[in-house]
Amino acid sequence: MAKKQKLELTWIGKDEQPKLEPRILLEDPELSYHAKERVTENDIFDNRLIYGDNLLALKALEQEFTGKIKCIYIDPPYNTGNAFEHYDDGLEHSIWLNMMKPRLEILKNLLTEDGAIFIQINDEEHAYLKVLCDEIFGRKNFITNICVKMSHLSGVKMSHVDKKLPKIKEYILMYAKNKELLKINPIYEKESFFNVFDRYNNFLVRDKDDPDNMSKWSVIPLRKAAQNYNVDVNNLEEYENFCIKNAKNIFRTARNRSKQFEELPNDDKFREIITPTGLKKIAYKREEVIFCSDRMKVIDGELVPVKPLGDIWLDIGINNLHNEGGVDFRNGKKPEKLISRIIEMVTDVGDIVLDSFAGSGTTGAVAHKMGRRWIMIELGEHCHTHIIPRMKRVIDGTDQSGISKAVNWKGGGGFRYYKLAPSLLKKDKFGNWIINPEYNPEMLAEAMCKHEGFTYNPDPEVFWKQGQSTENDFIFTTTQLVTQQMVEGIVEQMKENETLLICCKAYNVNVEDFPQVTIKKIPQAILNKCEFGRDDYSLNVNNLPMKEKEPEQLELF
């Protein structure tokens, strides 16, 4: 029978995926940081900043955070650019795709079932990335392709308009883990005052002593109401302020063809209508009342007229981007308003937001100010020169740039700084694999828990219960010689339905005597599980070999 084929993107090296070592994370308390006091009861302190290769770091997070991240935003390298001048175009894109595929696969695993991922990209790899994401997340889980204005037609761009169309936009691909479960909060942009108020011409007068009694409501024209309050309706600013302040009393009507409305008497009384779906509506003269307050939202901390925002974002604002966060990160920093809009779309307070290409730390800064938990990963030295100082200012409350004023940010909370542990195994001078001498007993026990699928959770009372996979299945790791007598002593403490995996360098035990105990030798038990001794899975083009010249290009000497 012919092999069933599927539509997919293929490239050089697609099936040669790395066997990643599940590293443990080591906290450095000297670089962790938290506020000196609580600012609110909701301050969050367990955020994570991880320094290290982001693919290994994602693998390190996989066991603990699978299915727990609500929102992922990444801003990966957009293209390989001139670094690949010695390679043909096919290989150039292949290297980029080989970098992205394993990262996206782990990121998908980390998402909650109702979570979403946002990937910012430009023209160079956008089409390739879209097809790759269709394959990984499922085409049915594609939500939208947002187009964002990221620069202006000025300066150098204007000097080259005769040669090419200047690029002022980027894309954000949005995918759900499960589209059926994803809830998207509506987002809005500021609207012109007249575009909103032009159709609102009625002013509702409520009874002062009984404001909720509809039978006592009356209506006067909007402009007359404003004049009654001594407002100059020809003064745009004065008239606008009056309308915004009284938006809940300003309304228009729209024809509603439902049976409930058609059966109403055509009089000047207000009535509450319950629709078949249970939704409450207010009727006036057989028409539905639409209050202006329904078109008012808080944008950037200010109550303003709004309209629903679609998939083209022109209002982000990039003029003062270099000042945000107090760090200079040219050609890489993203506006806080952009990230806050993304976070607002799919998360609630307390949800976890992840950025595995952290850059200058915008995602963490914004998530922190919005009351979300966050995880950031960064390999570059700007993790220390940019992200840490920026997050300290956020936590201290001294960073009042970006969205700070809009969310009334006063500081608080904190984060823990982690680095990746070194590889668990290394070769000795004879080329033999041994346990890395940098690992102390606690690190070794935690690492073996990850390798064997156990959760590291040492029991303070029982030395051999270092981790467990289920309620009754435990693991014990030691560098000592495991003897028959040692296992007998452990088995005497075990309950009838408990099992134990012992990982050790050597043992002298008749294993058949202990059916509830399994013994594995390290490093032999894990040697073939993953790739040890590799610390860098980044797109480091300087380490790539030169392309061989074609035969006709070979020089004579």
**pLDDT value, residue 2:** 56
- Whether domain 25-187+311-420 has CATH 3.30.930.10: the reply is no
Tell me the average pLDDT across 299-321: 85
Which of 37-41, 48-52, 263-267, 275-279 reaches the highest mean pLDDT? 48-52
- Give the DSSP letter of residue 90: H
As a whole number of angstroms, the distance between CA 513 and CA 116 comes to 51
Nearest to 145 by CA among 346, 307, 309, 310: 310
- Give the DSSP letter of residue 421: P
Tell me how far apart the terminal alpha carbons of the chain are, to the nearest angstrom.
Answer: 55
CA distances from 103 to 10, 36, 245, 330 (A): 17, 36, 49, 25
CB atoms within 10 A of CB 121: 23
As a whole number of angstroms, the distance between CA 500 and CA 508 comes to 17
**For residue 104, with 0-12 CB atoms within 10 Å meaning exposed, 13-18 middle and 19 or more buried, which class applies?**
buried
**pLDDT value, residue 86:** 46
Nearest to 479 by CA among 517, 448, 515: 448
Amino acid present at 106:
I
Query: What confidence tier does 64 reach under pLDDT thresholds 50, 70, 90?
Result: very high
Which of 294-303, 325-334, 443-452 reaches the highest mean pLDDT? 443-452
Query: Coil, helix or strand for 312?
Result: strand
Query: What confidence tier does 77 reach under pLDDT thresholds 50, 70, 90?
Result: confident
258-267, 372-381, 534-543 — which is least confidently predicted? 534-543
Tell me the average pLDDT across 95-106: 92
The answer to whether the CB of 54 falls within 8 A of the CB of 18 is no
Tell me the average pLDDT across 460-465: 96
Q: What tokens appear for 235 in the block?
A: 């003064």
E strands within 8-159?
25-27, 33-34, 47-51, 69-74, 111-121, 142-149
Phi, psi of 508 (to 5 degrees): -130, 75
Per-residue pLDDT reduced to its tens digit, 203-214:
999 999 999 999
Query: What confidence tier does 553 reach under pLDDT thresholds 50, 70, 90?
Result: very low
Per-residue pLDDT reduced to its tens digit, 389-412:
999 999 999 999 999 999 999 999
1-10, 110-119, 166-175, 187-196 — which is least confidently predicted? 1-10
- Give the DSSP letter of residue 117: E
**pLDDT value, residue 403:** 93
Query: What confidence tier does 239 reach under pLDDT thresholds 50, 70, 90?
Result: very high
- Residue spans of the domains in the chain: they are 25-187+311-420, 191-302, 425-521
As a whole number of angstroms, the distance between CA 320 and CA 205 comes to 44
**For residue 254, with 0-12 CB atoms within 10 Å meaning exposed, 13-18 middle and 19 or more buried, which class applies?**
exposed
Which of 63-67, 80-84, 244-248 reaches the highest mean pLDDT? 63-67
CA distances from 66 to 69, 70, 110, 112, 412 (A): 7, 11, 4, 8, 28
CA torsion 241-244-245-249 (nearest 10°) is: 130
As a whole number of angstroms, the distance between CA 216 and CA 276 comes to 27
CA distances from 304 to 189, 237, 240, 293, 550 (A): 9, 13, 10, 10, 64
The answer to whether the CB of 463 falls within 8 A of the CB of 489 is no
Is this model's pTM higher than 0.75 or not? yes
As a whole number of angstroms, the distance between CA 425 and CA 527 comes to 8
Phi, psi of 297 (to 5 degrees): -140, 160
Residue 80 has pLDDT above 60, yes or no: no
Amino acid present at 227:
Q
Query: What confidence tier does 555 reach under pLDDT thresholds 50, 70, 90?
Result: very low
Q: What tokens appear for 427 in the block?
A: 């070769």
Nearest to 523 by CA among 460, 421, 437: 437
Per-residue pLDDT reduced to its tens digit, 439-451:
999 999 999 999 9
Tell me the average pLDDT across 342-369: 96
**For residue 392, with 0-12 CB atoms within 10 Å meaning exposed, 13-18 middle and 19 or more buried, which class applies?**
middle
Which residue reads 């956020």 in tokens? 394
Q: What tokens appear for 376 in the block?
A: 């950031």
The answer to whether the CB of 399 falls within 8 A of the CB of 393 is yes
Query: What confidence tier does 324 reach under pLDDT thresholds 50, 70, 90?
Result: confident
Mean pLDDT, the chain, whole residue set:
89
140-144, 215-219, 319-323 — which is least confidently predicted? 319-323
